[in-house]
């Protein structure tokens, strides 16, 4: 995903800027997954919450609304452009104050035992050292505090990624071998048992992992959905270097592949995540 560059450089560069510009589109695609995350997190009024890898802040603001004015919420991310987009968003009425923190959550010195809850929508798969990062988060949580996270299951279980990818692959140079295990990337925690082992080694004890399979809507029609897949989804890295002519052919090919998935409610394909709660 970020060959040879750090995650901070990756998310502060073109990718972070593209995500920041398209924050509303991504939030709409992920909305059924976000609902499941918040249901599992069960945030209570007046509590303190950390949003890990908060990006453009959708989940941070929702947490702030959930805990209300007596609560406290921090959104932490390494990406300046995504945090800038987050800061510009209006605060929901009656929300907790939000601190936007530009920081690497793996090493940031959070006050020990200060948080009631930590949550993350797809923001925990990119640490240099997962176990160290989870240990840092565990230390920041109060005893009894809960981490609730969403991460992707394997690509093969995620047709919203694999279908567009298969349509692009014949048009581009063959990608290199899959990355070695445990490298930062969207599918790093595909092996849910290995993720649980990392959490346990970092000091978490009560771990509940649930498989979540829901349709996500990539766009109202195949052309819109193809743009979302090619510009924002994991297959976008295949087209990072593509000239306009190749990009146009890829978009057309992806739109054709997505056409059978068009419904009255838009172009829908299944997404598979792990929803993990750990105390």
Ligand X SMILES: C[S@@+](CC[C@H](N)C(=O)[O-])C[C@H]1O[C@@H](n2cnc3c(N)ncnc32)[C@H](O)[C@@H]1O
Residue 63: exposed, middle, or buried by beta-carbon count in 10 A (0-12, 13-18, 19+)?
Answer: buried
CB atoms within 10 A of CB 141: 24
- Output the smallest distance, CB 246 to ligand X, in A: 25
Could you give the CA distance from residue 154 to residue 32 in angstroms, rounded to a whole number?
A: 19
Q: Does 126 bind ligand X (CB under 6 A)?
A: yes
Could you give the CA distance from residue 155 to residue 26 in angstroms, rounded to a whole number?
A: 18
Q: What is the DSSP string of 239-272?
A: GTT--HHHHHHHHHHHHHHHGGGEETTEEEEEEE
x-marked contacts with ligand X along 222-251 as a string, rule CB under 6 A:
------------------------------
Q: Which stretch binds ligand X (CB under 6 A): 104-112, 173-181, 230-238, 249-257?
A: 104-112
- Output the smallest distance, CB 245 to ligand X, in A: 29
Question: DSSP secondary-structure letter at 109?
Answer: -
Structure tokens at 92: 């929901």
Report the site for ligand X in 65-94 (rule: CB under 6 A).
76-79, 82
Q: Does 53 bind ligand X (CB under 6 A)?
A: yes
| Minimum CB distance to ligand X smaller for 129 or for 256 | 129
Q: Does 121 bind ligand X (CB under 6 A)?
A: yes
| Minimum CB distance to ligand X smaller for 110 or for 204 | 110
Do residues 103 and 78 lie in contact, with contact meaning Cβ atoms separated by under 8 Å?
Answer: yes
Which residues lie closer than 8 Å to 252 by C-beta, 6 or more apart? 226
Report the site for ligand X in 12-41 (rule: CB under 6 A).
26
Q: Does 127 bind ligand X (CB under 6 A)?
A: yes
Task: Figure out which of the listed residues 40, 67, 81, 123 binds ligand X, where binding follows CB under 6 A.
Answer: 123
The footprint of ligand X (CB under 6 A) covers 7, 11, 26, 53-56, 58-59, 76-79, 82, 104-106, 121-123, 126-127
């Amino acid at each position: 995903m970020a060959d040879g560059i750090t995650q901070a450089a990756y998310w502060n560069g073109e990718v972070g800027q593209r995500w920041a510009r398209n924050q509303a589109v991504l939030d709409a695609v992920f909305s059924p997954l976000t609902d499941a995350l918040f249901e599992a997190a069960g945030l209570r009024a007046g509590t303190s919450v950390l949003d890990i890898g908060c990006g453009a802040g959708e989940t941070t603001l929702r947490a702030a609304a959930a805990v209300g004015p007596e609560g406290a919420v921090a959104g932490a991310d390494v990406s300046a452009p995504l945090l800038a987009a987050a800061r510009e968003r209006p605060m929901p009425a009656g929300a907790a104050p939000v601190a936007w923190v530009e920081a690497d959550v793996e090493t940031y010195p959070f006050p020990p035992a200060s948080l009631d809850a930590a949550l993350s929508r797809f923001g925990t798969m990119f640490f240099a050292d997962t176990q160290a990062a989870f240990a840092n988060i565990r230390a920041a949580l109060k005893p009894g505090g809960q981490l609730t996270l969403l991460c992707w299951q394997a690509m093969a279980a995620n047709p919203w990624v694999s279908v567009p990818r298969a349509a692009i692959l014949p048009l581009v140079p063959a990608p290199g071998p899959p990355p070695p295990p445990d490298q930062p990337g969207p599918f790093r925690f595909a092996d849910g048992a290995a993720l649980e082992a990392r959490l346990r080694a970092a000091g978490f004890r009560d771990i509940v992992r649930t498989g979540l399979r829901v349709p996500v809507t990539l766009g109202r029609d195949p052309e819109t959905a193809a743009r979302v897949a090619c510009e924002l989804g994991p297959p976008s890295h295949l087209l990072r270097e593509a000239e306009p002519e190749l990009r146009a052919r890829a978009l057309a090919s992806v739109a054709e592949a997505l056409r059978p998935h068009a419904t009255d409610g838009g172009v829908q394909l299944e997404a598979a995540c792990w929803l993990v709660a750990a105390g």
